[in-house]
Homo-oligomer: A and B are copies of this chain.
Amino acid sequence: MSDESDYLSDLATRFGAIRAFTESLCQPLSTEDYVVQSMPEASPVKWHLAHTTWFFETFLLEPYSADYTPLHPQYRILFNSYYEAVGAKHPRSERGMLTRPSIDEVYAYRRYVNAAIIKLLHARADFTEITDRIELGLHHEQQHQELLLTDLQHAFSKNPLRPIYKTASQTTPTSAPSLQFQQHEGGLKSIGFDGNDFAFDNEKPRHRVFVEPYQLANRLVTQGEYLEFIRDGGYQKPELWLSDGYIFIHNHELQTPLYWYARDGEYYRYSLYGGIALDPHAPVCHISYYEADAYARWVGARLPTEAEWELAYASQPVIGQFAQQGDLIPRHTDFGFGSAWTWTSSPYIAYPGFRAATGALGEYNGKFMSDQWVLRGGSCFTSCYSLRATYRNFFPATARWQVSGIRLACD
Taking CB atoms, residues of chain B closer than 8 Å to A123 are: none
Supposing A31-B31, A208-B210 touch, asked if A36 and B85 sit within 8 A by C-beta, the answer is no
This chain: copies in complex: 4
Interface size on A, residues (CB 8 A): 64
Cross-chain contact of A210 among B46, B161, B210 (Cβ < 8 A): B210
Taking CB atoms, residues of chain B closer than 8 Å to A238 are: 84-85
Cross-chain contact of A96 among B96, B208, B411 (Cβ < 8 A): B96
A163 within 8 A of B: yes
A337 within 8 A of B: no
Question: How many angstroms between the C-alpha atoms of A208 and B32 in the bound complex?
Answer: 52
A129 within 8 A of B: no
A117 within 8 A of B: no
Question: How many angstroms between the C-alpha atoms of A156 and B78 in the bound complex?
Answer: 14
The 0/1 profile, CB within 8 Å of B marked 1, for residues 227-270 of chain A is 00000000000110111111000000000000000000000000
| B102 lies within 8 A of A32 (CB) | yes
Taking CB atoms, residues of chain B closer than 8 Å to A84 are: 238-239, 246
A371 within 8 A of B: yes
Question: How many angstroms between the C-alpha atoms of A85 and B239 in the bound complex?
Answer: 8
Taking CB atoms, residues of chain B closer than 8 Å to A34 are: 32
Supposing A160-B77, A362-B239, A370-B242 touch, asked if A99 and B397 sit within 8 A by C-beta, the answer is no
Q: Give the Cβ gap from A295 to chain B, nearest Cβ, in Å.
A: 15
A111 within 8 A of B: no
Taking CB atoms, residues of chain B closer than 8 Å to A30 are: 99-100, 102
Supposing A94-B158, A97-B155, A347-B349 touch, asked if A243 and B32 sit within 8 A by C-beta, the answer is no
Question: How many angstroms between the C-alpha atoms of A201 and B370 in the bound complex?
Answer: 25
Q: Give the Cβ gap from A50 to chain B, nearest Cβ, in Å.
A: 12
The 0/1 profile, CB within 8 Å of B marked 1, for residues 206-226 of chain A is 011110100000000000000
Taking CB atoms, residues of chain B closer than 8 Å to A158 are: 94, 97
| A74 lies within 8 A of B210 (CB) | no
CB contacts under 8 Å to B, within A321-353, are 345-347, 349-350, 352-353
The 0/1 profile, CB within 8 Å of B marked 1, for residues 287-318 of chain A is 00110000000000000000000000000000
With both beta carbons as reference points, the residue of chain B lying nearest to A212 in the complex is identified as B352
The 0/1 profile, CB within 8 Å of B marked 1, for residues 29-55 of chain A is 011111110100000001000000000
A101 within 8 A of B: yes
With both beta carbons as reference points, the residue of chain B lying nearest to A29 in the complex is identified as B99
Question: How many angstroms between the C-alpha atoms of A346 and B82 in the bound complex?
Answer: 25
With both beta carbons as reference points, the residue of chain B lying nearest to A158 in the complex is identified as B97
Taking CB atoms, residues of chain B closer than 8 Å to A371 are: 244, 371, 397
A369 within 8 A of B: yes
CB contacts under 8 Å to B, within A129-170, are 155-156, 158-161, 163
Taking CB atoms, residues of chain B closer than 8 Å to A212 are: 207-208, 352-353
**List of 7 A-B pairs having minimum Cβ-Cβ separation, nearest first:** A97-B158, A84-B238, A347-B347, A32-B99, A31-B31, A243-B367, A210-B210
11 sampled A-B residue pairs with Cβ under 8 A: A32-B34, A32-B102, A36-B99, A85-B238, A97-B159, A98-B161, A207-B212, A208-B210, A242-B370, A243-B367, A346-B349
Query: What is A's interface to B at a CB cutoff of 8 Å?
Result: 30-36, 38, 46, 74, 77-78, 82, 84-85, 90, 94, 96-103, 155-156, 158-161, 163, 188, 207-210, 212, 238-239, 241-246, 289-290, 345-347, 349-350, 352-353, 362-363, 367-371, 397, 411
